[in-house]
A = this chain, B = another copy of it.
Amino acid sequence: MDLQQAREQLIQLQEKMSAYNHAMGLLSYDGETTAPRGTADNRAHALGILSEITYQLSTGKETVELLEFLDENKAALTEKEQRMVFLLLKDIRFMQKIPMDEYVAYEKLVVESQDVWYKAKNQNDFPAFEPYLEKMFEAQIRFARYAAPDADPYDYWLNEYEPGLSRQVLDSFFSQLRQRLVPLIHACGEKPLIPEDVLKGDFPEDKQEELAYWLMDVMGLNRDRVGLSTTEHPFTTSLGSHLDERITTHYHRQDVSWSMYSVIHEGGHALYDTGSNDDLAYTVLDGGVSMGIHESQSRFYENILGRSKAFIRFLFPKLKELFPEQMAAYGWEDFYRAVNRVQPSLIRTEADEVTYSLHVMIRYELEKQVMAGKLKVHDLPAAWNSMYKEYLGIDVPSDRQGVLQDSHWSFGAIGYFPSYALGSAYGAQFLAKMRETVDVDACLEKGDFAPINAWNREHIWQFGSLYTPARLLNQVLGAPFDPSYYLDYLENKCREIYGV
């Protein structure tokens, strides 16, 4: 094989893959946004065939030979090419271990399972979803055993979502959090409850949509390349490359902050993805490197920036303009305090910053138990409800507001949740570093995200998946990751708002 030719084939292979990924990503996106409800089988038919073709393309003899040849000659490759080969071989070595019929069946399961979950949630019918969720856990255990026979299946998936993670690491991480957050939440709970009436009322969808687009503009999202749709559960997806990004939200008519913070959260993901250098487009280096770093960006924009005093002072006049009657009796301080209220609650995506990690912990504990065979899927609702009582002190009135609330398990994302808490913790340490050169508060007071985005682009976004999360963190921080930045940040905020 000729090396120069092989390098060209490496690019062509990734371009082809990006076309299939674009098509399959769009099929899923269409299923979540626009497609008529009864078309899941028809979509599964196409996805089944395309995923079989993709499987062959990614793991076929020709591809494996190409990549192994390049791997043997890696000294002659650029840093980018080396990373491409590493990432492509990683997937191949995974895919090679999964029998093709099981992989194809799994892709179909993902489509059907999402559809069933959607209906089951609407009808508060966990038993309808149960067999699909069982199959989903079974598949993840089977796939992990194929991929890493010696590893614990849950450790395998944790490490897949965030290289370096394991139950051991997370048990320690969550224990540090628990140690300082449990007393903090308790202390806040002793103080009078902050009223939320400024957030509640009747907020027409069209005005909320106007707010959503305004926020996208303020955040510096390029609307020529980033679209907004509505779905049951908000998400972000790149189609083909970072040059076509979609975020989604869900408008709750009675609560102005729900969609608002979804848009800022998904907008953070979209900023990270679309911030890749353009020459990474149509390669595996395009877009964010790991779930943890991704969540560090989304939760950085949502919470650290989006719930800061400086940003709320900038934002509030816009809310007054869009909702003059609803906001008539309030000032920015009311809004600031309300979006930072600490109170144990039912729904993760609506949880405040401080209790949020406990929601994540519960999912982590439950996944860990089901993956270890210590808990049956059938018993998940009961275990869920009992942990919400134990950690958050609240009763779960229905599975719809309990175990059925998140879409993640329905599409097989088991081991993903911990990255939400981890990302928050990364973000707080990024903030400390950013403040060394950027006057973050001054920017937010003016609604000028450009210097903040420029810092993130320079240090994080532009590299796409070129560096491992560990190397990227080290490059950005110049120090090891330390959760105490996050805990300090939360304690400071509670001190300011609650005086605790």
A127: interface (CB < 8 Å): no
The smallest beta-carbon distance between A287 and chain B, in angstroms, is: 13
Among A43-51, A293-301, A348-356, A396-404, the stretch that binds chain B is A43-51
Q: How far is the CA of A224 from the CA of B36 in the complex (A)?
A: 5
- Provide the bound-state CA to CA distance between A377 and B22, in Å: 35
Is A322 on the interface with B (CB-CB < 8 A)? no
For A51, the closest partner residue in chain B by CB is: B19
Knowing A26-B23, A30-B26, A243-B41, the reply to whether A18 touches B46 (Cβ < 8 A) is yes
Check A23 against B27 for contact (C-beta < 8 Å).
yes
User: Which residue in B33, B45, B226, B243 is a CB contact (below 8 Å) of A282?
Assistant: B45
Asked whether A38 and B222 contact (CB < 8 A) given A23-B23, A26-B27, A45-B19, the answer is: yes
Are A16 and B49 in contact, CB atoms less than 8 angstroms apart?
yes
Chain B residue numbers with a CB within 8 Å of A19 are 45-46, 48-50, 53
Q: Which residues of B contact A246 (CB under 8 A)?
A: 34
Does A239 lie within 8 Å of B42, measured CB to CB?
Answer: yes
Question: Is A39 engaged at the interface, CB distance under 8 Å to the other chain?
Answer: yes
CA distance A32 to B16 in the complex (A): 23
Q: Does A148 reach chain B (CB closer than 8 Å)?
A: no
Taking a contact as CB atoms under 8 Å apart, the answer to whether B46 and A23 are in contact is yes
Distance of A248 Cα from B34 Cα, bound (Å): 12
A-B contact pairs, 30 of them (CB 8 A): A18-B45, A19-B45, A19-B49, A19-B53, A20-B50, A22-B43, A22-B46, A23-B23, A23-B24, A23-B26, A23-B46, A26-B27, A26-B30, A30-B30, A34-B229, A34-B246, A35-B227, A36-B224, A36-B226, A36-B227, A37-B224, A38-B222, A38-B224, A39-B239, A41-B243, A42-B241, A42-B281, A45-B241, A45-B282, A46-B240
